[in-house]
């Protein structure tokens, strides 16, 4: 309780609004977890960081703070959605701890939960949860990361001994970049191509013990430590390769495909392709968490940078005595405040994504359309949030000048640790292409292969309702649009309905344009080059889609808020998010003659005004981002002059 | 010689063209300096990194590789311009070594050279050059970094003992972030307000011994080690504060203001303000070097990332056997190749800046207009190159996926070390405002305070010639513009003269617009807020100015090239730089109706085509960036599968 004693009432209320349904869980972290439990000394060496991180993860597990998403019978304590909320809070503390737990509980444990059956749950989950059994998630290989279907590792059934033989046939089949593989792991969930009786059944997962109690490699297993990295020094990434290693048949995680006692392969899903995507689909939580974790790191960076800018003075007005606060400079407001607004936008959207995960989890495969939609959004939200994180944490570092570069002040550690979020759980460029492909499939499902050229204009509205299923608050948004249409031209800029129209138009138009280009490309002589040329348009369409979903989530979040004062403040923050996003894409809008140069300049002016307006509430706004004060920097580092 | 044996003939020729007048110096580094001399093991601890770095700097000094810019009589070996070329080469090796030497030779040594007189040169330079006397450059204080005129440290003349007393009157007067202050420094060049006989003479610099031979603080001096930072672990940044420390009067660096034996202050420059800016102006080389060093780091990152993308395959075309090289993907080309083009552009512009430094140095203050122009360009080039460095090295890291995050592959070290280049030697936002202010002064000098509203259009061309003094190749550029004007509309996009026109128009228009706004703001009731609102326009104008200078330098560089094949290749690279820059600013051009939406889209298509075209020469193009092959990664790290 002492930790939040300095928070203003407005800050507390904003925090409640942004936490939404997870407020209780998040407050539990804020009240029970001390900075010393989760804030790393940025000067630790790699070995020290690994030791500290492992210990912290065990501690958080013992306190049931990172154990949601597991069956209660095996020691779990909460839903899948709640596990995402816990992940976000851990990431406000330290990203090495978060990712170490993410590897252990989310990936290794998650593979056992989602791809295994009762035997695996009962046998391995209790020790996986307490971290008595540290495990690696051995999917990526040196040769194949994004392209999981092309993994080279083989899992071959040997009927004579009723065993599975795991093998790395080439050097590029070496598993790589795996957390827990470098030092601590004792077991791995190994992805490989399953062969039974000479027949190939596609990628499956098998549990393989990799080290003995003393940490020595088991026979046939070669582990490697990948050592020092650009960040996340507390996570021991490493390599694994297998030389005809045998494990009992039972070790195959067989929920979607297994081998019976007679040595026969059986699966509830007959298509190899469908089975592969179903299996990968169950692992979607990792991608959701990584996006949310990157956003948490960014919230912390913004809190540090805004606090600094609100204390640090430099240069004085000619003739006046007092030096000027950094946050009173227009350029400084521009660097930070639109990002604070975006932090709120992504926060509301992330909560919605977690709730969507819960609905899909509860449906247990009964709603494949919902699963697919979840995967699309998870991929897009991960890509956008991690891109924003890298850009924004860097902006925060620079906005704190030399002080920002001193490790004690916390920003450089965030920057280094968050960096790889753009890569793991799916390279961002590849993920955005997945999003675009899913959008095209939806588009095709609605419109088939008919030539859209002539009908695009007339049917735009219809397409909207088909492709762009609204996320929340449907009736609210319809009302906002109708109300914007009735406003005089001069007031449009501040009308939420107009913002929605802009976001929707961009989404519709980029998807339609992409569909047209792809259709033409498919008929081209060199179809690779023609489709290749569509790539930038795929990224555009994917971003436009996610931007629209985020805006709608923000609108939905505001709708849930029952405090009029806070609601009015959030409306301004949403204005800033919406207009800054339109401004960032104004070249596109101008190219498509959606608005004219005059309007475009007016949008920039409106963003400036909103920054100046919200500057007076900057303290409350960053408090609302929910980072406990004692977690901002390592305790040793609290030397006020260095950051003040 | 063995190190370049794999370089193609085209790569060698591009290298020669880009090195320009510094080819011999740069080849000397490539031929004589081994990777082991300059490539740091990225996993070194802070203490190990500091030891290694100090030793490397001493070695390079002993080999006369970092000793240009000093008088030959004291051990110098080369011109000021050459010292910039050496700095660029050092930065292709390791940035800690570069900055440690930059602090020692460039800042500490540079202060003695430029602000001291014969006594200081003869007494201190020989040991400064060999690093027998490690020194700090004690300008920045905790309270004041960008605002040097407000420093709090005092230097008071005591006539009774003929000494100077150096004092830190407040905690915010503590000198901070100083390289060499944390551990190795024995002396510091301390900036403070000089008082003689109660009269204030503004900021001056005095040499103060800070530690004894054994590294203990001298009486009255308190040193502090700022410890772990976001990068540059080999540089020992620290703090200094002074409690009434006395030094002999002779220790004042008195080229621009000193105290004679009678205790009288005298200076060749009567205005306190003019003296301050003259003194700071002589330190411009540091800013030039930092911009060039950041560009070097980026060249290295681009070389690593392009090489990786040209070896790494992922995903295969449906139905075809071979997997696709990353660099064959359009999105991947887009991430890297326009940055390769920009590396060439900045390279040519950096060379020109170094030559300009030499002309100003040779003029020895006789051409104040040239000095001011140099300072403006140095500030702008520093800001643009360091911004580009941070963005591009990060892009390269991500473009190498998980491999890029492993420290052994070199990218994360570059990223961490280059980060603070955006801050030191001047915060980028502040520097761009300096540039804009200088442009406004030029503007005012040409046009006075007359209201430009009515005459702006008519006189645009004239303003061009007044404000926008061309850098090089004036007649060539005039010819290119004339030739573009004669081309049919459809061919304009590929005409260099049209590119120049676009760059010039943007520069002119942003400066004129800024002048108009500033004039209005000055008359406003709340003039701080009104001028504050002009800040974003200041940044725009400054960027537009430097962009134009860079383009002209590229054109001048091509003009110097006497190999027709290389020249034709560089023309395409320049096309890519020019069009990608126009594309990046297309929102501005559309808002100002300089071109229409159709042309805007055509520019994007042209950038795509140039990327696809130059992709076939990507290897040669990165060879041309001039990074010796053995310097790309630390020798221990050469494990091909991790990066291949």
Q: Distance between CA B40 and CA B99 in Å, rounded?
A: 13
Q: Tell me how long chain B is.
A: 644
Dump pLDDT digits (tens) for A43-72.
Answer: 999 999 999 999 999 999 999 999 999 999
Which residues of chain B does A43 touch, with a Cβ-Cβ cutoff of 8 Å?
A: 46, 227-228
Closest partner CB to B591 (pick from A423, A424, A590): A590
Contact of B46 with chain A, judged by CB distance below 8 Å, is answered with yes
Half-sphere exposure (CA, 13 Å, Cβ side) for B364?
A: 3
Contact of B597 with chain A, judged by CB distance below 8 Å, is answered with yes
* Structure-token pair, residue A275: 């089975």
Decide: residue B325, CB within 10 A, 0-12 exposed, 13-18 middle, 19+ buried.
middle
A&B contacts, CB < 8 Å: 207
Contact B533 A412 (CB under 8 A): no
Contact B171 A424 (CB under 8 A): no
Q: What is the pLDDT of residue A489?
A: 78
Whose CA is closest to A208, among A224, A195, A222? A222
Under 8 Å between Cβ of A225 and A183: yes
**Percent of chain A at pLDDT exceeding 70:** 93
CA nearest to B418 within chain A? A405
A312: left (phi > 0), else alpha (psi -120 to 50), else beta?
Answer: beta
> What CA–CA distances, in Å, run from A374 to A315, A354, A357, A369, A463?
50, 10, 7, 9, 20
The owner of tokens 């013992």 is A62
Which residues of chain A does B334 touch, with a Cβ-Cβ cutoff of 8 Å?
A: 536
Q: CA geometry: angle at B57 spanning B54 and B60, to 5°?
A: 150
Q: What is the pLDDT of residue A317?
A: 79
Q: Phi then psi for B452, rounded to 5 degrees?
A: -85, -10
Q: What is the pLDDT of residue A477?
A: 86
* Structure-token pair, residue A552: 């709608």
The owner of tokens 């311009």 is B81
* Structure-token pair, residue B116: 């001291």
CA nearest to A605 within chain B? B533
Looking at the complex, report in whole angstroms how far the Cα of residue B165 sits from the nearest Cα belonging to chain A. 24
Looking at the complex, report in whole angstroms how far the Cα of residue A331 sits from the nearest Cα belonging to chain B. 6
Q: Distance between CA B506 and CA B520 in Å, rounded?
A: 21
Average predicted confidence (pLDDT) for chain A: 93
Contact A229 B177 (CB under 8 A): no
Which residues of chain B does A147 touch, with a Cβ-Cβ cutoff of 8 Å?
A: 314-315, 323
Under 8 Å between Cβ of B192 and B155: yes
Q: Distance between CA B43 and CA A229 in Å, rounded?
A: 8
Is B276 a residue whose pLDDT tops 70?
A: yes
- Which of A314, A382, A592 is the best substitution to test chain B (most B C-beta atoms within 10 A)? A314
Q: What is the pLDDT of residue A472?
A: 57
* Structure-token pair, residue B213: 């031979």
How big is chain B by its Cα radius of gyration, in Å? 25
Closest partner CB to B142 (pick from A145, A323, A641): A641
Contact B43 A43 (CB under 8 A): no
Closest partner CB to A412 (pick from B145, B176, B230): B230
Contact of A177 with chain B, judged by CB distance below 8 Å, is answered with yes
Q: What is the pLDDT of residue A469?
A: 57
Contact of B270 with chain A, judged by CB distance below 8 Å, is answered with no
B213: left (phi > 0), else alpha (psi -120 to 50), else beta?
Answer: alpha
Q: What is the pLDDT of residue A488?
A: 84
CA nearest to A592 within chain B? B597
- Collapsed DSSP state (helix, strand, coil) of residue A178: strand
Residues 412-451 of B with CB under 8 A from A: 412, 415-416, 419-420, 422-424, 427-429
Under 8 Å between Cβ of B98 and B43: no
Contact of B407 with chain A, judged by CB distance below 8 Å, is answered with yes
Looking at the complex, report in whole angstroms how far the Cα of residue B19 sits from the nearest Cα belonging to chain A. 31
Q: What is the pLDDT of residue A3?
A: 41
Q: What is the pLDDT of residue A482?
A: 87
CA nearest to A392 within chain B? B391
Is B605 a residue whose pLDDT tops 50?
A: yes
Q: Distance between CA B633 and CA A541 in Å, rounded?
A: 38
Q: Positive or negative, the Cα torsion across B1, B3, B5, B10?
A: negative
Closest partner CB to A171 (pick from B43, B332, B641): B641
Closest partner CB to A43 (pick from B227, B394, B586): B227
Dump pLDDT digits (tens) for B209-244.
Answer: 999 999 999 999 999 999 999 999 999 999 999 999
Instruction: Give DSSP secondary structure letters for A184-201.
Output: T-SEEEEEEEEEETTEEE
Contact of B329 with chain A, judged by CB distance below 8 Å, is answered with yes
Is A487 a residue whose pLDDT tops 90?
A: no
- Band (A401; pLDDT cuts 50, 70, 90): very high
Is B403 a residue whose pLDDT tops 70?
A: yes
Contact of A642 with chain B, judged by CB distance below 8 Å, is answered with yes
> What CA–CA distances, in Å, run from A75 to A67, A99, A125, B589?
7, 20, 8, 61
- Band (B459; pLDDT cuts 50, 70, 90): very low
> What CA–CA distances, in Å, run from A122 to A112, A128, A260, A532, B409?
10, 11, 19, 48, 42
Contact B405 A230 (CB under 8 A): yes
Average predicted confidence (pLDDT) for chain B: 93
Q: Distance between CA B360 and CA B366 in Å, rounded?
A: 8
Q: Distance between CA A295 and CA A88 in Å, rounded?
A: 8
Is B5 a residue whose pLDDT tops 60?
A: no
The predicted model gives A497-520 an average pLDDT of 95
Looking at the complex, report in whole angstroms how far the Cα of residue B597 sits from the nearest Cα belonging to chain A. 4
- Which of B388, B392, B587 is the best substitution to test chain A (most A C-beta atoms within 10 A)? B587
Pairing of strands B187-196, B154-158: parallel
Decide: residue A6, CB within 10 A, 0-12 exposed, 13-18 middle, 19+ buried.
exposed
- Band (A8; pLDDT cuts 50, 70, 90): very high
Q: What is the pLDDT of residue B45?
A: 93
- Which of A40, A95, A145, A226 is the best substitution to test chain B (most B C-beta atoms within 10 A)? A226
Dump pLDDT digits (tens) for A412-464.
Answer: 999 999 999 999 999 999 999 999 999 999 887 766 554 444 344 334 444 44
Contact B600 A608 (CB under 8 A): no
Query: Minimum mean pLDDT among A35-49, A165-179, A270-284, A481-495: which range?
Result: A481-495
Looking at the complex, report in whole angstroms how far the Cα of residue B250 sits from the nearest Cα belonging to chain A. 32
* Structure-token pair, residue A191: 């992805």
Which residues of chain B does A412 touch, with a Cβ-Cβ cutoff of 8 Å?
A: 229-231, 416, 419
Is B251 a residue whose pLDDT tops 50?
A: yes
Q: Distance between CA A143 and CA A191 in Å, rounded?
A: 14
- Which of B43, B142, B527 is the best substitution to test chain A (most A C-beta atoms within 10 A)? B142
How big is chain A by its Cα radius of gyration, in Å? 25
Dump pLDDT digits (tens) for B47-70.
Answer: 999 999 999 999 999 999 999 999
- Band (A121; pLDDT cuts 50, 70, 90): very high
Which residues of chain A does B528 touch, with a Cβ-Cβ cutoff of 8 Å?
A: 317, 324
CA nearest to A321 within chain B? B150
Closest partner CB to A597 (pick from B227, B314, B590): B590
The owner of tokens 């949860």 is A129
- Band (A540; pLDDT cuts 50, 70, 90): very high
């Amino acid at each position: 309780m002492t930790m939040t004693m300095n928070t203003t009432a407005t800050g507390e209320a904003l925090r409640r609004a942004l936490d939404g349904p997870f407020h209780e869980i998040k407050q539990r972290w804020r009240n029970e977890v001390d900075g010393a439990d989760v804030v790393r000394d940025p000067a630790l060496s790699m070995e020290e960081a690994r030791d500290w991180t492992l210990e912290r993860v065990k501690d958080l597990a013992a306190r049931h703070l990172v154990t949601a998403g597991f069956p209660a019978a095996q020691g779990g304590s909460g839903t899948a959605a709640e596990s995402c909320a816990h992940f976000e809070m851990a990431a406000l503390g330290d990203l090495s701890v978060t990712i170490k737990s993410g590897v252990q509980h989310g990936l290794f444990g998650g593979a056992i939960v989602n791809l295994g059956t009762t035997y695996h749950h009962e046998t391995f989950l209790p020790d996986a949860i307490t971290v008595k059994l540290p495990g690696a998630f051995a999917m990526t290989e040196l040769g194949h990361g994004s392209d999981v279907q092309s993994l080279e590792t083989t899992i071959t059934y040997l009927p004579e001994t009723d065993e599975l033989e795991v093998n790395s046939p080439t050097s590029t089949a070496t598993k790589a970049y795996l957390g827990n593989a470098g030092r601590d792991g004792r077991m791995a969930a190994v992805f490989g191509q399953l062969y039974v009786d000479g027949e190939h059944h596609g990628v499956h997962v098998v549990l393989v013990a990799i080290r003995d109690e003393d940490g020595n490699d088991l026979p046939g297993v070669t582990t490697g430590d990948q050592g020092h990295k650009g960040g996340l020094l507390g996570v021991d990434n490493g390599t694994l390769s297998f030389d005809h290693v045998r494990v009992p048949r039972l070790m195959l995680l067989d929920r979607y495909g297994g081998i019976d006692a007679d040595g026969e392969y059986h699966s509830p899903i007959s298509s190899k392709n469908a089975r592969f995507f179903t299996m990968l689909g169950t692992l979607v939580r990792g991608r959701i968490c990584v996006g949310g974790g990157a956003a948490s790191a960014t919230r912390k960076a913004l809190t540090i940078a805004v606090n600094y800018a609100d204390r640090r003075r430099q240069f004085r007005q000619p003739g006046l005595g007092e030096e000027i606060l950094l946050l009173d400079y227009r350029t400084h407001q521009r660097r930070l405040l639109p990002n604070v607004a975006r932090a709120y936008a992504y926060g509301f959207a992330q909560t919605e994504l977690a709730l969507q995960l819960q609905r899909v989890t509860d449906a247990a495969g009964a709603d494949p359309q919902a699963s697919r939609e979840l995967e699309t959004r998870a991929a897009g939200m991960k890509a956008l949030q991690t891109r924003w994180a890298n850009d924004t944490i860097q902006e925060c570092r620079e906005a704190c000048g030399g002080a920002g570069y001193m490790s004690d002040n916390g920003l450089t550690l965030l920057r280094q640790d968050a960096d790889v979020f753009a890569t793991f759980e799916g390279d961002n460029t590849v993920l955005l292409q997945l999003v675009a492909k899913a959008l095209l499939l939806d588009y095709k499902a609605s419109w088939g292969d008919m030539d859209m050229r002539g009908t695009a204009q007339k049917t735009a509205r219809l397409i909207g309702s088909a492709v762009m299923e609204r996320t929340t608050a449907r009736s609210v948004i319809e009302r906002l649009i109708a109300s914007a249409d009735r406003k005089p031209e001069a007031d449009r800029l501040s009308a939420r309905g107009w913002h929605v129209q802009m976001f929707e138009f961009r989404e519709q138009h980029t998807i339609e344009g992409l569909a047209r280009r792809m259709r033409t490309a498919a008929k081209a002589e060199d179809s690779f080059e023609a489709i290749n040329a569509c790539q930038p348009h795929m990224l555009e369409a994917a971003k436009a889609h996610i931007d629209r979903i985020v805006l709608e989530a923000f609108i939905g979040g505001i709708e849930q808020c029952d405090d009029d004062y806070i609601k009015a403040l959030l409306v301004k923050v949403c204005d800033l998010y919406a207009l800054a996003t339109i401004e960032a894409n104004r070249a596109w809008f101008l190219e498509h003659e959606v608005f004219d140069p005059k309007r475009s300049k007016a949008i920039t002016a409106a963003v400036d005004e909103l920054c100046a307006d919200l500057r007076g509430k900057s303290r409350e706004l960053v408090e609302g981002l929910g980072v406990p004060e004692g977690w901002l920097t390592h305790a040793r580092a609290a030397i006020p002059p260095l950051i003040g």
